[in-house]
Amino acid sequence: MSTSERLAIEPTQSASGTVTIPGSKSVSNRALLLAALCQGTTRIRNLLVCDDTDLMLGALAQLGIRWRREGNDYVIEGCCGSFPTRKADLKVGNSGTTMRFLTAALSLQEGTYHLSGAPRMHERPIGALVDSLNSIGADIRYEAKAGYPPLTIEGSDVFVEGNGIELDASASSQYLTALLIALTQADSVSEHIDLRVRNGLISRPYIDITIQLLKVFGVPVQVIDHATFRIPAHLRLQSPTNLTIEGDASSASYFLAAGAIGCGPLRVEGVGSSSSQGDIRFAQALKDMGASIEMTDQWIQVSRNPEAPLRGISVDCNDMPDAAMTLAVVALFATGETTLSNIASWRVKETDRLAAMAVELRKLGAKVYEGKDFLKVKAPDAWLSPGHGIDTYEDHRIAMCFSLAAFGPNPVVINDPGCVSKTFPTYFDLLKQVTHHHA
C-alpha cells in the first residue's frame, strides 16, 4: 500500500485474520541503552525497527558503542558504563525516549555532549529532569529556551548524597526511567540511592517496564512506596546475554480495535496477558464496550456479535495514554458517550494530541468536548467526509488511529501517512491484510 503524501482508504466492512505485531518501542529503546551501558555483549531479538530505534542506535554508534545486525537480531557490545566517545553532537529527531534517556545517561559521563532534536522536540519539556540531575552535580545547560532542548552536557563529578535525589515526574514518566537507568552508574556514600517522586507519577506501567528490565540486567530496584524507588549503589549493569522484546501493546491497539469494530475474529500475536505494558489494558476497555476478548500469554483475539453494538464508556487512561487515542476513534462506532480522563500528558507529546484529536474527530461529524485533561466523544449523527482529509501533525499515532475511521460510510484520506515510520513502518500494509472492503 502506498505511503505517499496522502493515502485513501476505502470504506471497510469487516476485519478478521491474524497479525503479528513488531516489538515494543518502549522496551526496545530501554533495552538498547541498557545493553550499551552494561558489561558484556547482548543479543536482542524482535527489536522494533523504526525511526525511534534508528535514532537511538545512531546516537549510540556516535558514542562509540559497537553493534551489528545478525539476521533479525541486534548484537550490542556493552561499554561497562563508560562511553568511548568523549565529544559528540547528537541529533535525536522527534524521539522523546532517546532525548530523555541520553540526557540522564550522558550527565554521568566524562565528556562534552550536545543534544538536539526536531523543532517539536525543542517544544517538549525536559526541565524537571535537568533540575534533578543538576542537583546532584551534573552540568547541563540550555542552549535556547530554559526548560527545553537543545542541551549541552559537560562531564562533571556526579555524587549522590545520603538523602538521595528528588524528581518531579508529573509531566512524563520518561524522566523517571531516564534517572533509574542513569543512577545505576552513579557513586554514592550509602549502600543505596533513594529516588523520590513528587507531584504524582503518570503512566506507571512504563516504570514497571524499566524496573523489570533493570532486574534482567542485574540491578534490582526496590519499590519502597508509590513515590520512592531504591537503587543499589554498588551494583553495575550486567548483560543477560540474550533478550527477546515482546510485541508492542500500543501498536496492537489498532488491530484490536479493528476486530471490535469490524466484528473479527481478529487475533494479534506477539503480546498477551503476561505483558508488562500498560496499554494491554486496552483489551479490557474494548470488553467493557461490548467486544469479546480471548487472551493467552502470546496472543489476544477480539470479536463481536454484529447484532450487539459497541457502547460508550468512561475510563481513566493514566496507565494507557497511547492506546487511549485509539479508544477515541472507537467511540465513533459506539452508542452513547465515551469519556477519556487523566490524559493531560497528551498535550506534550509529538503534538498537542488532545487538541489535534478533537479537531480531527469533529471533521468526521463527532460531537467532541475537549477538557484540560479529558476528552468526551459521541458518535456522529451523520458522518462527514472531510475534503482535505485527516491531518496527522507529524504524529504516527494520529495516522494509525484515524485509519479506523474507514469503518464508517465514507473513504478516509490520511495526510502524511509516512509518519507511521516513527514506530510502525509496516502498519498500513498489515492493516490491509486483515481488513475487508465492500464488494
Positions marked catalytic? 322
**Amino acid, single-letter form, for residue 73:** D
Separation in Å, CA 101 to CA 293, 335, 352, 389: 35, 42, 22, 36
CA-nearest of 123, 101, 122, 87 to 52 is: 101
Question: For 263, how many CA atoms within 13 A lie in the half-sphere containing its CB?
Answer: 9
Place of cell 550509602: 190
- H helix count then E strand count, the chain: 12, 27
**Dihedral, CA atoms, 131, 132, 133, 135, nearest 10 degrees?**
80
Place of cell 541520553: 102
DSSP string across 42-111: EEEES---SHHHHHHHHHHHHTT--EEEETTEEEEE--TT--S-SEEEEE-TT-HHHHHHHHHHHTTSSS
Residue 209 CA to residue 230 CA, distance in Å, equals 16
